Amino acid sequence: MIEFRHVDFSIDGNAILRDVSFSVARGRTTVILGPSGSGKSTILRLLLGLYHPDAGSIFVDGVDVTHINASRWREIRSRMGMVFQQGALFDSMTVGENVGYALLEANGDDEVEVAPAVRHYLELVGLDPYLIDRMPDQLSGGMQRRVAIARALAARDPMILLYDEPTTGLDPQSAERITDLIVQLRDQQGKTAIMVTHDIPDAFKVADAMTILEQGRVVFEGSPDALISVSTPFINQFLAPFRTAMGAASRRFEAATRRGAPPRTDPQRGGTP
């Protein structure tokens, strides 16, 4: 459904992506992982036609989008919904106008007509429709991100969803709600998705496939299970904090189980002691 073939991209002579090749199957969620500055978000921008590759080809539904004109780009983009880093909600519009943006564009600003659809998508992402008249800056970060997802879904009911660091900067509960929503959209609606993140636990939670970037190059492409068994210096170093945290949690759980008591929740701290 989506394929990058030997894509190179640079800005002002600085190579951002080098010979990047990977593919995303229909109805699957691929997570692109990598440290900051490795070119993850650039892949989504190339896919949306916001950037154009220096070399190589990008295919969407079998169409090479590398050399298409503006009107063809609009048609290709209509199949995609993008959730930008930090949400990128239109701050001069209400929540309702944001979610219904594409519908309002198509219906000539008839807010009454699109209101039921807006309420539906707000409910779908777990938000109360009473928020419809709020401005984006009156919402928490997690709510803004969910409004951004609702806006992407409401656009044209896209079959491809692109998430750019959807949980960055959110508290654990809000981040979990977002990842649950991404999994739900894949499982219940069969959406194809690419999620860019550097949060390894989130990646393992939602990924059917993973692609890892290091300084603009793909250093791993495969399933999450396959990633666990890979051992290269970069991947070991990249996954080390995650493995350490998982190991520590596992040891604590085993110790607590051996003592005959399940992990206790500290009401003051809200977590396991």
**Residues near another protein (CB under 8 A):** 45, 48-50, 74, 77-78, 80, 82, 84-86, 88-92, 101-102, 105, 109, 155
**Of 48 and 219, which has the nearer Cβ to another protein?**
48
CB of 153 to another protein, least distance (A): 12
**Order of strands across the sheet that contains 192-197:** 80-83, 160-164, 192-197, 29-33, 209-214, 217-222
C-alpha span between 20 and 54 (Å, rounded): 12
Q: Give 233's Cβ-side CA count (13 Å radius).
A: 0
Helix or strand (DSSP H, E) at 18: strand 14-24
Return the number of the residue (66 or 86) whose C-beta is nearest another protein. 86
Nearest-approach distance from CB 97 to another protein, in angstroms: 11
Q: Nearer Cβ to another protein, position 12 or 225?
A: 12
Nearer to another protein, 22 or 101 (CB): 101
* Pair of tokens at residue 191: 């959406």
Supply the minimum distance, in Å, between the C-beta of residue 169 and another protein: 13
Nearest alpha-carbon partner for 129 in 114, 107, 110: 114
What's the min distance (Å) between Cβ of 132 and another protein? 18
- Between 21 and 107, CB nearer to another protein: 107
Q: How far is the CB of 239 from another protein (least distance, A)?
A: 29
